[in-house]
Structure 1
């Protein structure tokens, strides 16, 4: 069987070109291109001849040259704030799985949470003719952020690509952007309502900057549940500088050092914060869940391993990533209107919550 050696010269084997494939198949270069890109109907017999020539010559499509010619690079790019967070990793795994199912490569890069780096990366990826750019996780919602996202969405759309925001709200109306969210606020509402239904009235919220879209929605769900029960919110129970586990640990330690807990339950904005709150409570001799109940968010793997096992809100991490790719690749034209999908969340009941005694 003929292989690349047929196109060898004195300097060694030469990689087959699209012209070599056309010659062997007895068709034009344009016909070979149509078969390989699949963007134009070709007779079945002709397609078979071309594919046989590609196999015989071990022809490999030059993806970069194809991108320069205006075709897609068959690549999905996913931008994460970091590579250490299980949340980002699990969503990215969903992106990768669906990209593979769609015969695409998956390219992963990190922004370090820097909006300017995010913008630069998207601009670079546009030049590479990627099929879609998936931005994962929350963002600080400001007018500048919305302006940047609108510009990036239009830039990618003009290049035949697609901006996908995954796990954050839409940056604006009437933009060529795909939005894949989960019911963030609804999950927080359900978690807080669960505690309230068990008799807890003083629930400590451990979170971070409400300007962050993820934090804003979780705090909003917490407040909505308290209002739904006809209660007045105690501002002293809302902590917005405990977004990191060590900060949450220090906050709980400080409160307990001042005397017996002035709360009967903790709603932590994520499971890592909840885990450190558990440690601070245990070190102070406060029993969980007998004295204080604790509920987290995200349903990370370690939520099952802490003691007591953590009640938490489950997010469809993998499905977020898969849906982001499916929607981006299967839409009605590059100028399709804003696509928006909201996935559900649910509470996973474990051992860190119990009814309030003498409620």
Structure 2
């Protein structure tokens, strides 16, 4: 028997009206109350949409949900656009599918809320893109939610994030980027140029991409010189993934006064902010300080000089996710596909100034 809204209210110790407000998102609800309601929804397996409950035994719909952190970010725009183009290719016979893009702003609770709505709409597939929030409670809740969706026969694709602990046999695929290897190769390139005072603007802590890219960076430094990661520790700054975050991080590095000859950024957007702050401080790129990014967004070719970066195959990943969702490609053994990352050397990196120890 389908779980009712009243049962969720009783479980959470609130009124049915409060449950409705939390599910619809139209009214402010206190954080602790919202958490209790969302937990009750999760525990009871409540499907919010009334018509969807009546269709609980039916096949999933032609709607496919695509969760992104920020659709205004080129990284997610390219990925979602490629997915949508490959979802129902022009000229191909068969039913077309509707891709619905859900913006989460990287928030774990919003991610779960969107999945609840998609489950209520009997979505015929779900694609989650971008870094995963590495918090054990959220990981378990997310795995349970996705397992429930996949159990209806709706394929689930994790794109650009690590696999989740879901039961074997469910239609769940993981498309991973080689963030660790890409960061390793970028750091090797900087080391080969002669850089030893390497600043690093990492992404926010607690994200899978931040962890993987920072680990690859540190591994390359350690292989060159086991003491190098420690000597560069004071040159690592965690920041957001926006241009303004890169600008503020570079200003912070300059304020600290520790010498550096290159800045490797968490992504290309951050790198543009870093470059702006360095130029504002009167520094030339790459004559005084080299700058590198990650992802190889279109903006990399338009910066002056063009940005050295690591190419992440976003278009290929979007197309592959669409093939998994539609069943045009079978899931790989183990359900995991890792796409390679390619080092793109351009004009923003060069050997350090002759007097490397001098302050930028």
Mapped partners of 2:285, 2:300: distance in 1: 14
Question: Residue 71 of structure 1 corresponds to which residue in structure 2?
Answer: 59
Give 1:353's aligned residue.
349
Task: Answer with 1 or 2: which has the greater Rg.
Answer: 1
| RMSD, matched Cα | 2.6
2:142 is the alignment partner of 1:149: yes
Say whether 1:181 aligns with 2:176: yes
Measure how far apart 1:303 and its partner are: 1.3
**3-state SS of the aligned residue for 1:70?**
coil
Contact kept, 8 Å, 2:296 with 2:311, in 1: the verdict is yes
The equivalent of 2:206 in structure 1 is 211
Question: Residue 92 of structure 1 aligns with which residue?
Answer: 80
- Deviation string 1:91-137 (CA, Å, 9 cap, x unpaired) is 10121012112732212222232222221221222232322100111
Distance 1:132 1:310 in 2: 36
1:282 aligns with 2:279: yes
Tell me the CA shift for residue 218 of structure 1.
0.9
Counterpart in the other structure of 1:125: 118
SS at match of 1:165: strand
Greater alpha carbon shift after TM alignment, 349-358 vs 68-77: 68-77
Q: Structure 2: 5+ residue runs without aligned partners?
A: 1-51
Q: SS in structure 2 opposite 1:246?
A: helix
Task: State how far apart, in whole Å, the 1-side matches of 2:55 and 2:80 are.
Answer: 24
- How many Å apart are 1:333 and its aligned residue? 9.4
Residue 104 (structure 1) aligns with: 97
TM-score scaled by structure 1?
0.75
Question: In 2, are the aligned partners of 1:76 and 1:99 still within 8 Å (CA)?
Answer: no
Is 1:194 paired with 2:189?
yes
CA contact (8 A) 1:202 1:264 kept: yes
Q: How far apart are 1:73 and its partner, in Å?
A: 1.8
Q: Do the aligned partners of residues 131 and 303 (structure 1) sit closer, same or farther apart at CA in structure 2, a change above 3 Å counting?
A: same
Deviation at 1:244, TM superposition (A): 3.5
Q: How far apart in 2 are the matches of 1:291 and 1:283?
A: 13
- Structure 1's unaligned 5+ residue stretches are 1-63
8 Å Cα contact 2:201-2:265 kept in structure 1:
yes
Counterpart-to-counterpart distance in 1, 2:109 and 2:116: 11
Alpha-carbon separation, structure 1, partners of 2:166 and 2:108: 20
Aligned residues: 294
Q: CA deviation at 1:215?
A: 0.8
String of CA shifts for 1:244-270, please: whole Å, max 9, x gaps: 4323322322443565x6011110011
- The alpha-carbon deviation at position 89 of structure 1 amounts to 0.6
Give me the whole-angstrom Cα distance separating, in 1, the residues matched to 2:305 and 2:146: 45
Mapped partners of 1:67, 1:168: distance in 2:
31
Contact 1:206 1:243 survives alignment (8 Å): no
SS at 2:282 equivalent: coil
C-alpha distance 69-256 of structure 1, shift in aligned 2 (>3 A): closer
DSSP-derived class of the 1:253 partner: helix
Matched residue, 2:296: 299
1:343 pairs with one of 321, 339, 342: 339
How far apart are 1:332 and its partner, in Å? 9.8
Distance 1:135 1:285, change over 3 A: same
